[in-house]
């Protein structure tokens, strides 16, 4: 992939919204995490570096929630409670340097690491200074990872070089929490003083006391301080605005930078305020337009003047100022640039690539000289994965004849996620392109797809945008329908998503809001999911077979105002059911949008005017006007909640599982890498898209991989077999019943799925006989796996494994996943021993909606997730699930909410006592058997039981499929039903063939 930039020959016009300061964001989040109480931070940036800080703080036990651009931080009073042994700073130097020392405020030891290239970044001066403060740490080579003991520093007199302000800020932030007084003295030349000024100013805002010498080379800090919670709004980010200013400076223009309301940089409280002064000194015609709410640049004949600048206080501005200087009259001199060569890349050297374009640059040990030229020529450049180098060279390339390509085209997301959209909005021609491979027709996967860390930072709307731009005519989705398959290209899918997003905005849906929809597997489900994510809303899909009882629960708990539902599904009329629900329970529901099963106008139920408004999906879409500016104002964050899925309530009421975007895309990339999926695969998704298996390992997987997905609303094995061959399906992840039915269809018809190569069986244990049979009949690799809605996939076998290991186990841990088997006391058990299965993962959910108590219950004190399963883990790392701790019946991948059904049956007039237990089934894995103690003089049949549950609007999949009257239920001395005895009875029924 590369960033393609074409010369801009026209006037640059339009407006862009300047994002908020990431420098303030880092400090505000960290200080808020240390405060005693709740802080509210408005205007947080979606910059990836800021998200790394959020993620690391969450790993230290800090509760951080988000609504739009506002973060609410529950401070821990200067005592972190890590959820895991290792936390990562990603690729953020600020996060790394600030947090190494601060992790010593944890109640146990923690290792601080970063992405691979960060593990080569020397931090010796910072580590030595922290050790002098009494921080106990170790590092193999004075680079990350750094192991930090959980113990408060002692303080003392500390000396550190003034090379990087972030090192000094890291010490200053830690010192108030030391047990003794701290004095920090800066040695040698002091760079980046403005960043230190910001650190101290924000610390004082949180009530922390720092005494600073007049020359900012000595800091005295009292020990034992406590930070106070605050509410604050971040100022605009001058560092991001600089690219809009520079683009305008190089071309005839009329540009408004909305959000910048001062020409005095210092008034904006930003460490890079000198850039505004530098731009004005170079002749950029900046003027305030208070009526429009921003800074305006208007000129017909751009003319820049050379500048002589000391870079010590403005190191991050060197790349973009170099871009401006290369077109300025005369020679510009940038002094004291040595420390800029210690940033994400050697920035001074990186900008000398302008010479390859015809620029005149001379780099010395501590000085960069640039003599201006009139025009450059396009060429191939390297960005070194440095966001500022990439963006600066891209702006320079808009005034270069021909085209320019840049490596690491998505690096801009690190600090300015809106850069590409902002530049193109003003008229610059910039786009991310995929180069065809050097030989052969096969398309290569982008590096982001194969690297889960990088994939995690790309949201699904961005994946869609890339696909639509790179290969608009290629097939993105196949909707298998009885009246003929519908094929949708990437460009068509993107257009449908934009239209649906406009409709959602029209209905009042906003970022962070839960959008409920109950749809089968068809194109509308995919479109609606991506449209919700496009505007930052949360996908809250409802299983299609859910009846009124379950739907009502989801709508209440999700506080949904908008519901999209089909007019017909099988023999039911869901839209009418929902309106009847609304009449009984007048909740928050305001709009019901009805999708026609036939594809034409929907069969709209009559509304009485007192309930929610009822709309036709197709008509509403046609009436919605796509406002590009309004849509582009929403930039979804990888850290934001993207999905709310309700569990089946196996231990009581259903729980709403909240998953952020990055977990979903990371999980997809982890499976892609583990299985060796390629750009030539096609994903078949028979599982309900409203279930995590279909949503994540069908829809999301296809989007991240960039390949077609095949969906089918009505499950029919013969039709599925035909579509698999017609559309060349190669991969599927689905529950055991789909595998069983597909095998039966092949044996019945003689037709085989010619292209299917991998079937990952999840949701229920695959009988070994079925797996062996499926491998022979289908000619495909059947792979065992384990996952949950809360954790995504944790273990997975691979096609190359020995057959007995491939389908005879539940796989091995994916990269980055940790597994363990413990006894009831939490003691680690040896290999092969059965015990409680727990795991730890980077794809762990953010918690259960509005149920912190339930969230806390599923985690151990040291941050491991309790799966509720019994399992063994052999010496080679193969997992085998042997049973369940909780009372769960797994019917073909759907977990039956036993407790809820038992409670309902208890209310039946003929029932004195009841318990539901699992009985084995070859096709579905398990079915439910109801053991009932009848009241004297009554009778009860299975038909009567199912009729009773139907009256209570319980989904058919949850109905017991056998009824056994018993004289009494087996109970232990304290009255608990001994369900293992009931399960044994049910196994006997099966063994004896009892009907």
Q: List the catalytic residues.
A: 316
- 953 carries a ligand binding annotation: no
- 443 carries a ligand binding annotation: no
Whole-angstrom distance, CA of residue 181 vs CA of residue 153: 10
Whole-angstrom distance, CA of residue 390 vs CA of residue 384: 8
Whole-angstrom distance, CA of residue 717 vs CA of residue 743: 9
Q: Which residue has the tokens 């998704």?
A: 685
Tokens, residue 994:
């009892």
- 93 carries a ligand binding annotation: yes
> Residue 240: CA atoms inside 13 Å, Cβ hemisphere, count?
30
Q: What is the DSSP string of 584-601?
A: HS--S--EEEEE-SSSSS
Tokens, residue 644:
């709310």
Angle between helices 717-726 and 736-749 in degrees, nearest 10: 80
Q: What is the DSSP string of 352-394?
A: GGGGGGT-EEEE-SSEEEEE--S-EE--EE--TT-HHHHHHHH
Burial of residue 390 (number of CB atoms within 10 Å: 0-12, 13-18, 19+): buried
Tokens, residue 934:
């009848």
For 911, the enclosing helix (H) or strand (E) is strand 911-921
Phi/psi of residue 618, each to 5°? -65, -45
Q: Which residue has the tokens 């549950």?
A: 949
- 165 carries a ligand binding annotation: yes
**Cβ 487 vs Cβ 513: under 8 Å:** no
Whole-angstrom distance, CA of residue 379 vs CA of residue 395: 14
- 347 carries a ligand binding annotation: yes
Ramachandran region, residue 609 (left: φ > 0; alpha: ψ -120 to 50; beta: rest): left
Whole-angstrom distance, CA of residue 894 vs CA of residue 719: 23
- 418 carries a ligand binding annotation: no
Tokens, residue 226:
């406590």
Whole-angstrom distance, CA of residue 102 vs CA of residue 89: 13
Query: Does the bond joining 145 to the residue before it have cis omega, within 30 degrees of 0?
Result: yes
- 994 carries a ligand binding annotation: no
For 672, the enclosing helix (H) or strand (E) is helix 661-675
**Cβ 516 vs Cβ 542: under 8 Å:** yes
Tokens, residue 56:
């690391």
Task: Determine the straight-line distance between the first and last CA of the chain, rounded to whole angstroms.
Answer: 62
- 27 carries a ligand binding annotation: yes
Cα dihedral 854→857→861→865 (10° resolution): -90
Q: What are the start-end ranges of the E strands in 797-878?
A: 812-813, 818-822, 835-840, 847-848, 865-873
Angle between helices 165-174 and 124-132 in degrees, nearest 10: 20
Whole-angstrom distance, CA of residue 587 vs CA of residue 584: 9
Alpha helices, H only, 861-906: 898-906
Residues in the chain: 995
Known binding-site positions for 3-phosphoshikimate? 22, 27, 165-166, 316, 343
Annotated binding site for phosphoenolpyruvate: 22, 93, 121, 166, 347, 388
Binding-site positions read 22, 27, 93, 121, 165-166, 316, 343, 347, 388
């Amino acid at each position: 992939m590369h960033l393609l930039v074409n010369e801009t020959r026209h006037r640059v016009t339009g407006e862009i919204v300047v994002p908020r300061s990431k420098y303030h964001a880092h400090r505000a989040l960290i200080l808020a995490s240390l405060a005693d109480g709740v802080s509210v931070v408005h205007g947080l940036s979606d910059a990836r570096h800021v998200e790394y800080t959020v993620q690391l703080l969450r790993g230290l036990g800090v509760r951080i929630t988000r609504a739009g651009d506002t973060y609410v931080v529950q401070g821990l009073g200067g005592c972190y409670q890590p959820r895991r042994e290792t936390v990562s700073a990603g690729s953020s130097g600020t996060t790394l340097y600030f947090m190494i020392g601060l992790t010593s405020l944890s109640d146990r030891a923690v290792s601080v690491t970063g992405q691979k290239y960060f593990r080569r970044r020397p931090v010796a001066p910072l580590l030595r200074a922290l050790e002098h403060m009494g921080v106990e740490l170790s590092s193999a080579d004075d680079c990350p990872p750094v192991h930090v003991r959980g113990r408060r520093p002692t303080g003392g007199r500390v000396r550190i070089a003034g090379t990087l302000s972030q090192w000094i800020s890291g010490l200053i932030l830690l010192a108030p929490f030391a047990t003794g007084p701290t004095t920090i003295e800066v040695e040698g030349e002091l760079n980046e003083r403005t960043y230190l000024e910001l650190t101290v100013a924000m610390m004082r805002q949180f009530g922390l006391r720092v005494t600073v010498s007049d020359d900012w080379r000595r800091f005295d800090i009292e020990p034992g301080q406590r930070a106070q919670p605050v509410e604050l709004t971040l100022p605009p980010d001058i560092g991001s605005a600089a690219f809009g200013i520079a683009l305008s400076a190089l071309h005839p223009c009329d540009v408004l930078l909305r959000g910048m309301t001062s020409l005095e940089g210092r008034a904006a409280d930003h460490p890079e305020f000198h850039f505004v002064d530098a731009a004005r000194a170079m002749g950029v015609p900046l003027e305030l337009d208070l009526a429009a709410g921003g800074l305006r640049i208007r000129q017909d004949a751009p003319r820049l003047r050379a500048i002589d600048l000391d870079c010590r206080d403005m190191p991050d501005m060197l790349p973009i100022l170099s871009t401006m200087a290369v077109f300025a009259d005369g020679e510009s001199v940038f002094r004291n640039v040595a420390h800029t060569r210690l940033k994400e890349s050697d920035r001074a050297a990186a900008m000398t690539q302008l010479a390859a374009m015809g620029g005149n640059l001379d780099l010395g040990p501590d000085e960069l000289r640039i003599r201006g030229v009139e025009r450059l020529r396009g060429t191939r450049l390297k960005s070194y994965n440095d966001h500022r180098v990439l963006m600066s060279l891209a702006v320079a390339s808009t005034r270069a004849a021909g085209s320019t390509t840049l490596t690491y085209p998505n690096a801009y997301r690190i600090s300015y996620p809106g850069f590409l959209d902002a530049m193109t909005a003003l008229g610059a021609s910039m786009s991310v392109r995929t180069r065809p491979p050097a030989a052969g027709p096969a398309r290569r996967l982008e590096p982001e797809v194969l690297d889960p860390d990088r994939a995690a930072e790309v949201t699904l709307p961005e994946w869609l945008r890339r696909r639509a731009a790179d290969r608009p005519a290629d097939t993105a989705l196949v909707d298998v329908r009885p009246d003929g398959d519908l094929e949708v290209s990437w460009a068509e899918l993107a257009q449908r998503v934009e239209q649906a997003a406009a409709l959602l905005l029209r209905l009042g849906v906003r970022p962070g809001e839960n959008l409920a929809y109950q749809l089968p597997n068809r194109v509308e489900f995919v479109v609606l999911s991506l449209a919700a994510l496009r505007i930052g809303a949360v996908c809250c899909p409802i299983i299609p077979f859910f009846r009124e009882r379950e739907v009502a629960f989801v709508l209440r708990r999700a506080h949904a105002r908008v519901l999209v539902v089909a007019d017909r599904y099988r023999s039911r009329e869901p839209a009418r059911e929902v309106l009847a629900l609304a009449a009984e329970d007048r909740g928050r529901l305001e709009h019901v949008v009805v999708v026609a099963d036939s594809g034409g106008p929907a069969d709209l139920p009559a509304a009485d005017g007192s309930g929610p408004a009822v709309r036709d999906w197709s008509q509403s879409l046609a009436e919605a006007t796509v406002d590009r500016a309004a849509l582009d104002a929403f930039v979804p964050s990888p850290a934001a909640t993207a999905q709310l899925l309700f569990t089946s309530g196996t231990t009581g009421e259903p729980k709403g599982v909240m998953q952020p975007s990055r977990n979903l895309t990371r999980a997809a990339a982890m499976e892609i890498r583990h299985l060796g999926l390629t750009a030539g695969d096609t994903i078949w998704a028979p599982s309900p898209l409203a279930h995590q298996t279909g949503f994540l390992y069908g829809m999301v997987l296809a989007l991240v991989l960039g390949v077609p997905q095949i969906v089918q609303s009505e499950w029919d094995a013969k039709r599925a077999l035909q579509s698999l061959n017609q559309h060349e399906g190669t991969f599927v992840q689905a529950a055991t019943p789909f595998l069983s039915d597909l095998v039966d269809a092949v044996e019945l018809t003689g037709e085989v799925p010619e292209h299917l190569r991998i079937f990952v069986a999840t949701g229920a244990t695959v009988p070994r006989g079925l797996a062996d049979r499926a491998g022979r009949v289908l000619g495909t690799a059947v792979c065992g796996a384990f996952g949950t809605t809360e954790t995504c996939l944790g273990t997975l076998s691979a096609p190359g494994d020995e057959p007995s290991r491939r389908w005879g186990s539940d796989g091995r841990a994916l990269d980055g996943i940790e597994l363990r088997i413990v006894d009831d006391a939490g003691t680690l058990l040896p290999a092969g021993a059965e015990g409680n299965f727990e795991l730890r993962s980077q794809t762990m959910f953010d918690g259960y909606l509005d149920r912190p108590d339930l969230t806390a219950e599923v985690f151990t004190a040291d941050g491991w997730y309790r799966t509720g399963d019994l399992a063994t883990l052999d010496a080679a790392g193969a997992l085998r699930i042997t049973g369940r701790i909780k009372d769960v019946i797994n019917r073909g991948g759907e977990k039956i909410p036993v407790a809820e059904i038992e409670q309902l049956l208890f209310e039946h007039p003929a029932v004195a006592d009841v318990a539901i237990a699992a009985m084995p089934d070859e096709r579905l894995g398990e079915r439910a058997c109801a053991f009932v103690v009848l009241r004297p003089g009554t009778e009860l049949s299975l038909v009567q039981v199912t009729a009773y549950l139907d009256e209570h609007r319980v989904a058919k999949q949850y109905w017991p499929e056998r009824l056994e009257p018993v004289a009494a239920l087996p109970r232990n001395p304290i009255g608990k039903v001994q369900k293992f005895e009931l399960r044994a009875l049910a196994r006997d029924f099966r063994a004896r063939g009892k009907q």
